[in-house]
Amino acid sequence: MGKPPGLYAPLVRETIADLYRNPPLEERLTVKGWVRTRRTTRKVSFVELQDGSTLKALQVVLPHEGISAERIEKELHTGAGLAVWGTLKATPDRPQPFELVAEGYELYGPADPETYPLQKKAHSLEFLREIAHLRARTRTFQAVFRIRSGVSFAIHQYFQERGFVYVHTPILTPSDCEGAGQLFQVTTLPLQNVPKHPDGRVAYEEDFFKRPAYLTVSGQLEGEMLAMGLSKIYTFGPTFRAEPSHTPRHLAEFWMIEPEMAFYDLAMTMDLAEDFLKYLIRHTLRHFAEELAFLTERYEPSLLAELENTKESAFLRLSYTEAIEILQKSGKNFQFSTEWGSDLQAEHERYLVEEYAQRPVIVYNYPKAIKAFYMRENEDGRTVAAFDVLFPRIGEIIGGSQREERYDKLLQRMQEVGLDLFAYEHYLDLRRYGSVPHSGFGLGLERLLLFLTGMTNVRDVIPFFRTTDQMA
RNA sequence: GCCCGCUUAGCUCAGCGGUUAGAGCAUCUGGCUGUUAACCAGAGGGUCGCAGGUUCGAAUCCUGCAGCGGGCGCCA
């Protein structure tokens, strides 16, 4: 065995990605990684080494005269972690541009082939969900998680370049944002023996916050408070919903991006949303060509073409009323109503995006009755300045609105839907003092990633998923 | 929450009332003059998700349960 001699120590190029960027041919170096596959012939063995820095592997040649075949066969199985040293040689007549001719290696950790679940063959995504702690060893998840990292960076970059302030809104909150959506309650009260008043009410004065507390379902209300001083802000953090939704598009814990802008009206906000999405697509195409090529070949043949197409096309904007007319004239037999006033269902959205427009669609000015209390009422008195961005394959990817900045209108609306006004005093204060027009939207990171990676289940674009009944 | 489907070897699957349940890959053994998810030969590996029922006979049909997946609703 033995450690690499001292002359190898100062390594300039450590990762396999570095080797491909600028191959130090004929140099002696050490590379560290995990075995993807091994092939053995009479005189030499070949190991494909991966280290997660690129989807490409480094071919390592292990001559049996230097390293015994028995040791290689015993130790170097798929999944084993090791350091290997030798000389990088060009191989112009082989599929790969170069290979490492090894002088020795040190095994860090073996992977017993009898029990190690991953093989050099492809596995189903469903199987990999059962071993989420090992998924990062597959190229698929390396590609997906690297794109997730890159697009997260691009989100910050986009807003920072445009003067938005990144604000951290609380994860623990005293109330529900929209009076809807199911909350995870957070408590330090003992569940086996909850202290109660004589009349049966929970004695919250004994709880940690001396009142009920929940995990946030949205940072929007706090985002508005900060935008009313900083003008343009955005949030980017985890969000929690205790909805028992069992679909490939819902998570109990997911990441949301919520910009909020003072002095923006609905049209400006729709422009921002469209520009933002195209920026993220362009960034991903520019920086993750290798990953996108892999995912296109492996999972979604139309992925690359769809990204290219979307980044060029102007999103089709339809008012809700226009959308309803289009649906009514479509000649389609929809399961759900297309009467004015009914909400657009998945089948309607799919028709608008995939058949009618064949590109992303923004629907705006929805009926007041089917939207949240904080959305700004339009002049017609029956619609609100809300919009949804609908994408092919995904459906709704962004939901946003201009907020109701008029105190009387907001108060009236809150009373109509029966909100506890006391809990929203601070929110109402924003309308009492220096209230100005403002708007914002929410983008679900995982849904965006479905579009960017060609994956079809949000459980496959977040490292450890939480859904009803499941914690990976 | 409602509806549908699937569950057979470590993995991906075939078998769909009739001998002792199969294939590819993986594993192990042997071979191969440098392989490209190498190749060639051989071997081991299964209470056919669990429980009950129908039948001369059940992996196969029925019922219940569980796990997983999908559609719808809700949304991001």
Distance A131 CA to B17 C1' (A): 37
Closest residue (CA to C1') to nucleotide B35 in the complex: A39
Protein residue nearest nucleotide B72, by CA to C1': A346
DSSP letter (8 states) at residue A375: B
pLDDT at A70: 86
Distance measured from the CA of protein residue A126 to the C1' of nucleotide B22, in angstroms: 24
Split at pLDDT 50, 70, 90, the class of A9 is very low
Residue partners of A432: CB distance under 8 A and separation at least 6: A407
Residue–nucleotide distance: A327 CA to B2 C1' (Å): 26
State yes or no: pLDDT of A179 exceeds 50.
no
CA of A121, C1' of B13: distance in angstroms: 14
Report the distance from CA of residue A327 to the C1' of nucleotide B72 in Å, as an integer: 19
Least confident of A119-123, A157-161, A386-390, A409-413: A119-123
Name the closest nucleotide to A243, judged by C1' and CA.
Answer: B74
- N- to C-terminal Cα separation, chain A: 37
Using CA atoms, how far apart are residues A111 and A173, in angstroms rounded to an integer? 45
- On chain B, which bases lie within 7 A of the protein's CB atoms? 1-3, 10-13, 24-29, 31-39, 67-76
Residue nearest to nucleotide B24 (CA to C1'): A121
List the Cα angle A289/A294/A296 in 5-degree steps.
90
CA of A68 to C1' of B21 (A): 41
pLDDT at A468: 84
Closest nucleotide to A40 by C1' from CA: B35
Query: Which nucleotide lies at the shortest CA–C1' distance from A96?
Result: B36
- The nucleotide lying nearest A456 (C-alpha to C1') is B70
Point out the nucleotide closest to A118 (alpha carbon to C1′).
B11
A5, pLDDT greater than 80: no
**What H or E segment, with its residue span, contains residue A399?**
strand A395-402
Q: Which nucleotide is nearest to A123 (CA to C1')?
A: B11
Per residue in A391-413, pLDDT tens? 999 999 999 999 999 999 999 99
Angle, CA A338 vertex, CA A333 and CA A341 arms, to 5°: 170
Virtual torsion, Cα A222, A250, A186, A177, nearest 10 deg: 30
The region that residue A450 occupies, defined by phi over 0 for left and psi between -120 and 50 for alpha, beta otherwise, is alpha
d(CA A38, CA A267): 58
Q: Bridge-partner residues for A30, per DSSP? A: A85
Average pLDDT rounded to a whole number, residues A59-73? 90
**CA–C1' gap, A116 and B45, in angstroms:** 16
Question: Closest Cα to residue A207, out of A178, A174, A240?
Answer: A174
The per-residue pLDDT for range A278-297, each reduced to its tens digit, is 999 999 999 999 999 999 98
Residue A10 pLDDT greater than 50, yes or no: no
Q: Mean pLDDT in chain A?
A: 91
Tell me, what's the pLDDT at A249?
A: 93
Which nt is closest to the CA of A336, judged by C1'?
B72
Q: How confident is the model at residue A11 (pLDDT cuts 50, 70, 90)?
A: low
Q: How confident is the model at residue A469 (pLDDT cuts 50, 70, 90)?
A: confident
A152 CA → B62 C1’, Å:
53
pLDDT in tens, A321-330: 999 999 999 9
State the pLDDT at residue A124.
Answer: 87
CA of A59: nearest nucleotide by C1' is B36
DSSP A332-371: ---SS--STTSPPPHHHHHIIIIIIISS-EEEEEEEGGGS
Distance in angstroms: CA A129, C1' B48: 24
A5 CA to B62 C1' in angstroms comes to: 71
Residue A260 CA to nucleotide B25 C1', Å? 53
Domains and CATH numbers, chain A: 6-109 (2.40.50.140), 135-182+217-471 (3.30.930.10)
A371 closest-nt by C1' vs CA: B75
Protein CA at A468 to nucleotide C1' at B69, angstroms: 14
Name A229's Cβ contacts closer than 8 Å, sequence gap at least 6.
none
Asked if residues A251 and A446 have their Cβ atoms less than 8 Å apart, the reply is: yes
